[in-house]
Amino acid sequence: MAEPVLLASDVTIEYPAHSVSSAHTAVRGVSLRIEPGEIVGLVGSSGSGKSTFGLVASGLAGAKSRAVSPRVTGGDFRVLGFDLRKGVRGRRFNRLTFGVGYLPQSTGSDFAPNLTVAELVAEPIFSRDKRYNEKAASLKVATLLDALLLPNGTARKLPHELSNGQRQRVAIARSLILDPVFLVADEPTAGVDVSIRGPIIDVIVAMQRERGATALIVSHDLEVLRRSVDRIVVLHEGVVVGVGTIDEVLSDPRHPYVASLAKTMGSPER
């Protein structure tokens, strides 16, 4: 059997104490196995630990630019075979982050204001390989922007010339440009018009599936995940309260939070 892309066994994740805040445990006793090629949705209410889990799963939690990084303090957490509890540094860190694409929440608002969309999307390619063929990069960028339903001419625009939803789609393109083996997308359709949320998730999923790649899609909105994920994991106050296909989870609402989800979603599709 192939090695899982993500293997979490009884994982606890903590934010260390900082300035006036005491230490905070955001995720407790989470066990999860994601196989190659699986598309998994991570669902839960605000503050349930979804973003924390996603950030740690991306391997970027310890990256220097973050003031307060969540840390794996219990259990065993491996992504692409790398031991995240022990920490991944140097060349191994580069290998891990080459394999994992990470789309943080509301990332479109942090773009460098003076770079065009084409430059922003291609940046991850050139920051790894300065001599990468420019034509090939432009073609890749154009294909992605088109797939994400962005209008012609978007590539030449600056971020401030786009709507929030368009910027978010540019961020999605950027997270996919290196063909990640494992994509962690945190609320990828935040700010995107309701009418195209489903299609945008479909594009992300189709791109990963085409390559037999894997994804963990964080969303508080089960409806947008409904048609495209293989399984969901439901978090509530840092604990897993449901796991399985959407129908399996909703038809067995033992936990009150899952019961409330089932209510808002209506009866499972058969």
| Residues within the interface to ligand ATP (CB under 6 A) | 15, 21, 24, 26, 44, 46-52, 68, 220
Lay out the sheet containing 6-15: strands in order across.
24-34, 6-15, 71-79, 82-83
- Closest separation in Å from C-beta 71 to ligand ATP: 11
With beta carbons less than 8 A apart as the criterion, state whether 189 and 219 touch.
Answer: yes
Neighbouring C-alpha atoms within 13 Å toward the C-beta of 156: 2
- Closest separation in Å from C-beta 152 to ligand ATP: 33
- Closest separation in Å from C-beta 270 to ligand ATP: 30
Lay out the sheet containing 231-236: strands in order across.
100-103, 182-186, 214-219, 39-44, 231-236, 239-244
- Closest separation in Å from C-beta 114 to ligand ATP: 29
Task: Name the residue nearer to ligand ATP (CB basis): 26 or 117.
Answer: 26
Please give the structure tokens belonging to residue 140: 């890749």
Task: Name the residue nearer to ligand ATP (CB basis): 47 or 151.
Answer: 47
- Closest separation in Å from C-beta 14 to ligand ATP: 9
CB atoms within 10 A of CB 69: 16
Task: Name the residue nearer to ligand ATP (CB basis): 24 or 85.
Answer: 24
- Closest separation in Å from C-beta 151 to ligand ATP: 29
Task: Name the residue nearer to ligand ATP (CB basis): 17 or 206.
Answer: 17
CB atoms within 10 A of CB 204: 24
Tracing tokens 């990468």 back to the chain, one arrives at 132
Task: Name the residue nearer to ligand ATP (CB basis): 26 or 141.
Answer: 26
Task: Name the residue nearer to ligand ATP (CB basis): 52 or 168.
Answer: 52
Q: Kind of pairing, strands 231-236 and 214-219?
A: unpaired
Helices marked H in 79-189: 90-99, 117-128, 134-147, 164-176
CB atoms within 10 A of CB 194: 11
DSSP codes, 56-76: HHHT-TT-TT-SS--EEEEEE
- Closest separation in Å from C-beta 41 to ligand ATP: 13
Task: Name the residue nearer to ligand ATP (CB basis): 133 or 260.
Answer: 260
Angle, helices 134-147/164-176, rounded to nearest 10 degrees:
130
